[in-house]
Homo-oligomer: A and B are copies of this chain.
Amino acid sequence: MIATLPIKPDELREIPVFHRLPDEPVHSLVAVMVRRHYAPGQVIFLEGEQANSLWFVSEGRVKIIKHSLNGRVQGLCLMNRGKCFGSCPLFDMENNPATAQALDNVTLFVLPGEALQQLKGRDPHLVKALLHIYSQRLEHLARVSEVLGSWTVSDRINDCLLTYANREGQQSYVELTQEKLAAMVGTVREVVTRHLRSLEREGIVRNETGRIIILNADALLPPCGCEDRRTPA
């Protein structure tokens, strides 16, 4: 964690939520926000902990997980550049509902809860933007519940590959070790390995160490076409 360098307005504007925000509120924000660095594996906050700040990812990736009881870990999602996470003081959430952990070297912008409380009265645009984030969060979690409940592990792996793929020219690739991928979808490394091998044999992906290259994204699409999910037959 390096001594905090002030955040520049332009940097803040790279976060989609703040992209179109007028100068005035942006300046208020950078005045109260703090820059933080985390090393891979470092825990940013723990589930249940009291810490009502909002976090924005400037660089690197953060994984949001639920880990419990038997040591099993269930990944909920992976936040990359521009994403926002943390309990929102706009709600009455006092405890973090999940754990956040750095996946790579990450740089975060932190908006402390008290600061947001003061700002929220001033700029309704800001409030609206944040609410929008949380509506997406709700939808996402609802989706996670569905996926966990009725998808097979293989489908979840495929889904995870598509969700976290980076595009670079024509190629898509995922920069995760199989171990981490396993944690994301809530399974174990061996199962991931086997499934990736079978995908490779079918020519759908190519495996390298610490990276999976997606050759045929279409073949990874969810089980039964996404549309028309209301006629289970």
Segment at the B interface, from A109-117, A140-148, A193-201? A140-148
Which B residues touch A70, using CB under 8 A? 150, 223-224, 232
Among A16-24, A71-79, A171-179, the one that faces the other chain is: A71-79
Which chain A residues numbered 194 to 233 have a C-beta less than 8 Å away from chain B?
223-224, 229-230, 232-233
State whether A232 and B67 are in contact (beta carbons under 8 Å apart), knowing that A141-B145, A150-B72 are contacts in the complex: yes
The interface residues of chain B lying within 8 Å CB-to-CB of A137 are 138
Tell me, rounded to whole Å, the shortest Cβ–Cβ distance linking A186 to chain B. Answer: 5
Closest CB-CB distance, A208 to chain B, in whole Å? 28
CB distance from A119 to the nearest CB of B (A): 16
In the assembled complex, the CB of A193 is this many whole angstroms from the nearest CB of chain B, namely 20
Q: Which residues of B contact A92 (CB under 8 A)?
A: 131-132, 135
Q: Separation in Å of the A95 CB from the closest CB of chain B?
A: 8
Q: Which residue of B lies closest to A87 (CB)?
A: B135
The CA of A132 and the CA of B88, in the complex, are separated in Å by 11
In the complex, what distance in Å separates the CA atom of A223 from the CA atom of B70? 9
- Answer yes or no: A66 CB below 8 A from chain B CBs: yes
Measured in the bound complex, the distance between the Cα atoms of B61 and A99 in whole Å is 33
Contact A150 B74 (CB under 8 A): yes
| Cα of A76 to Cα of B145 in the assembled complex, Å | 8
CB distance A145 to B148 under 8 Å?
Answer: yes
Q: Interface 1/0s, chain A 62-101, versus B by CB < 8 A?
A: 0000111111101010000000000010111100011000
Q: Is the CB of B232 within 8 A of A69?
A: yes
Q: Is A44 an interface residue (CB 8 A)?
A: no
- Chain B's closest residue to A141 (CB) is B141
Let me know if A138 and B91 touch, CB within 8 A: yes
B contact residues around A76 at 8 Å (CB)? 142, 145
Contacts of A49 in B (CB 8 A): 230
Question: Which residues, 143 to 171 on A, are CB-close (under 8 Å) to B?
Answer: 143-146, 148-151
Show 11 residue pairs from A and B whose CB-CB distance is below 8 angstroms, ordered by the A residue. A47-B229, A69-B150, A69-B223, A69-B224, A70-B150, A91-B132, A91-B138, A92-B135, A141-B142, A144-B145, A150-B186
